[in-house]
Amino acid sequence: MTALPVFVDVDTGVDDAMALVYLFASEDADVVGIASTAGNVPVQQVCHNNLALLELCGVDVPVSKGSENPVTAPLRTAEDTHGPEGMGYARLPATDRALTDYDAAEAWVRAAHAYPGELTGVATGPLTNLALALRREPALPRLLRRLVIMGGAFDYRGNTTPVAEWNVSVDPEAAAEVFHGWSTAWNGESPEHLPIVLGLNLTEHIVMTPELLGRLTGDGAHPLVAVLEDAMRFYFEFHFACGEGYLAHLHDPLAAAVALDPDLVRCRPTTVDVELTGTLTRGMTIADWSNRWGRDPNALIGVDVDPAAFFERFLTRVGAFTKFLSREQT
């Protein structure tokens, strides 16, 4: 199986960590770089979580530190959702692994130039560092083979304000720059190169439960199992406290799985833009399905997914990975 080069931009976070583990567990993925973005927790903590997760999984990938803050807005974080250190109740191992000596935006650009036309980008946090990379390399959209973004909410309520989803809400300006940048680079040609955008309208169909988690963690021999269980327990408790039930939405793992296999979701091309000045609607993602704006499509919006198909793949791969690590450690 030929492994695809994949660059991941995360605000690790519980579901970002699950997405990273899925990619590490996937033989068809070669993770060539990780950008740490401020979001669920401050960027220093995101960096620590990423380096410690690599230590835990025995994987070597360059990790870069992103901007301390969104491109213009003040930083907001979500320790209530992901825990004080972003990994729920989980304790990650100590590590002496170091960050790259270049920043996350540079890491995006270097990876895209190292794999011209072959690199798949996955963004599961605020788009701050992707926007900064785009400023540094306006040709980025044409250098990437594919981009998958977890963000936004399309004809669907928000999870941060009544209309805004977290990743876009933290840095709406960056999200707007990314959607505009892809418009400019492709101006209506090659729709297959438009970013696949997975909003809450889709990702909230991916519902992890304690039963499914139990199938994932199996004999539980490797420390990764306890980390996943302890991280998810905090995430379950947060969703329960929000009245959604003792469950958790796996937003970011869906983005990771779609990056390796876009056929997991059905998408519709449209023009997307982001509200920046609305008193009540700042951070809202708008899909112009009726082409009222008369602009070329700049995104492929995910509109349908088979959760069973996703979970079959996710549980199989991550379950096999934890067993492999257990055997390796003996």
Asked if residues 284 and 319 have their Cβ atoms less than 8 Å apart, the reply is no
26 binds ligand RIB (CB under 6 A): no
> Which of the ranges 159-167, 172-180, 260-268, 289-297 carries the binding residues for ligand RIB, by CB under 6 A?
159-167
The span from the CA of 281 to the CA of 146, in Å, is 29
Q: How far is the CB of 14 from ligand RIB (least distance, A)?
A: 7
Q: Three-state SS for 10?
A: strand
Q: How many residues bind Ca ion (CB under 5 A)?
A: 6
Q: Which stretch binds ligand RIB (CB under 6 A): 10-18, 175-183, 184-192, 234-242?
A: 10-18
Find the binder of ligand RIB among 33, 39, 223, 283 (CB under 6 A). Answer: 39
CB atoms within 10 A of CB 224: 26
Catalytic residue among 82, 222, 249, 251: 251
Q: Are 36 and 64 in contact (CB under 8 A)?
A: yes
| Cα 312-310-269 angle, rounded to 5 deg | 160
Distance, CA of 314 to chain centre: 15
Consecutive H or E run containing 150: strand 144-150
For the segment 228-267, give every residue that binds ligand RIB (CB under 6 A): 251-252
User: Among candidates 51, 95, 93, which has minimal Cα distance to 224?
Assistant: 93
3-state secondary structure of 279: coil
Selected binder of ligand RIB within 40, 120, 128, 298 (CB under 6 A)? 40
* Catalytic residue check, 251: yes
Asked if 137 is part of the footprint of ligand RIB (rule: CB under 6 A), the reply reads no
Size of the site for ligand RIB (CB under 6 A): 15
Q: At what angle do helices 223-241 and 43-57 cross, to 10 degrees?
A: 140
With b for 16 or more beta-carbon neighbours within 10 A and e for fewer, the 69-91 pattern comes to: ebbebebebbeebbbebbbbbbe
The stretch near ligand RIB (CB under 6 A) out of 109-117, 132-140, 164-172, 257-265 is 164-172
Q: Does 16 bind ligand RIB (CB under 6 A)?
A: yes
Pairing of strands 196-198, 299-305: parallel
Q: Which stretch binds ligand RIB (CB under 6 A): 43-51, 111-119, 136-144, 165-173?
A: 165-173
* Site mask for ligand RIB (CB under 6 A), range 107-136, x = bound: -----------------xx-----------
CB of 253 to Ca ion, least distance (A): 10
Does the footprint of Ca ion cover residue 253 (CB under 5 A)? no
Q: Is 11 in the site for ligand RIB (CB under 6 A)?
A: yes
* 177: contact with ligand RIB by CB under 6 A: no
Q: Between the CA of residue 109 and those of 36, 124, 137, 140, what are the distances in Å?
A: 14, 18, 7, 7
Residue number, 252 or 273, with CB nearest to ligand RIB = 252
Give catalytic residue positions: 251
Residues found near ligand RIB in the complex (CB under 6 A): 11, 13, 15-16, 39-40, 124-125, 150, 159, 165-167, 251-252
Could you list the residues that contact Ca ion (CB under 5 A)?
Answer: 11, 13, 16, 124-125, 252
